[in-house]
Amino acid sequence: MSHIDTEEWKAQFYELLENRKSIRKFKKDPVPKELVEKLLAAAMQAPSGKNRQNWRFVIATGEKRDEYLQYSQQSWLGIKDILKERLKPSLYEFTERFFYTLGDAPVVVFCYSVNDESERYHTSVGSVYMAVENLNLACVAEGLGCCTMGAPLEIKDQVNEFTGVTEWPEYKAGELELLCAVVLGWPDHEPPKARRQTDGRITWL
């Protein structure tokens, strides 16, 4: 019997899912490059439409990560008014600090999708998001924390210039799309996980 057939393995799998949550405060300790590469290898175990494996990842650490802070701060301007209406004042202030510092996360992963005529658009995009979820779970397995951010899309043209993808053939062909960024590092807080809502989410036929 394979180890994946054991009850212990199944319990660990579901515990892994339950322990995934968004982390927005990190220790400044660096994450070894080899570990980041291991996380990305896990991400790329995801399924993809027609097995195109159409994800592309751009990684910022060190000085490039610090340089990105100005872009993160700019992206905050596009969503702050909406969040001010939805969040309690203390949480709003915490979120604002996160955008200005990225919670001290030492690694930023920019996640792109290559969309071309060989596959439907939403399948291409969905393939990359499945890889992003793998990345989230791999972080949990390694004792790391992460937060998936859609805010870079507020200033995607500037972010694309920052990452340098504007020089890629896929970008020039209009086939490369920024989907999100994932910040990651060693967690420095233990936030509660939002309750999972099930009402109206599932319909049986």
Dig out the tokens for 53 from the structure: 């494996």
Fold of 24-185: NADH Oxidase (3.40.109)
pTM of the model: 0.95
Please name which of 37, 55, 35 lies closest in space to residue 178, comparing C-alpha atoms.
Answer: 55
Average of per-residue pLDDT across 59-64? 98
Show Cβ contacts of residue 30 under 8 Å, excluding neighbours closer than 6 positions: 61, 106
- pLDDT tens digits, one per residue of 4-59: 678 999 999 999 999 999 999 999 999 999 999 999 999 999 999 999 999 999 99
- Write the CA distances from 134 to 121, 156, 172, integer angstroms: 21, 23, 29
Identify whether the C-beta of residue 127 lies closer than 8 Å to the C-beta of residue 52. yes
Query: How does the average pLDDT of the chain come out, rounded?
Result: 96
Q: Please name the helix (run of DSSP H) or strand (run of DSSP E) that holds residue 82, with its range, or none.
A: helix 80-86
CA distance 57 to 135: 11
For residue 194, the model assigns a pLDDT of 87
Query: What percent of the chain is modeled with pLDDT above 90?
Result: 95
Indicate whether 67 pLDDT > 60: yes
CA distance 54 to 105: 26
* Domain positions in the chain: 24-185
Dig out the tokens for 28 from the structure: 């400044």
Indicate whether 3 pLDDT > 80: no
Indicate whether 149 pLDDT > 70: yes
Indicate whether 1 pLDDT > 60: no
Q: How confident is the model at residue 2 (pLDDT cuts 50, 70, 90)?
A: low
Q: CA torsion, points 186, 3, 50, 57, in degrees to nearest 10?
A: 10
For residue 186, the model assigns a pLDDT of 98
Report DSSP state, residue 65.
Answer: H
Three-state secondary structure string covering 165-182: HHHCHHHHCCCEEEEEEE
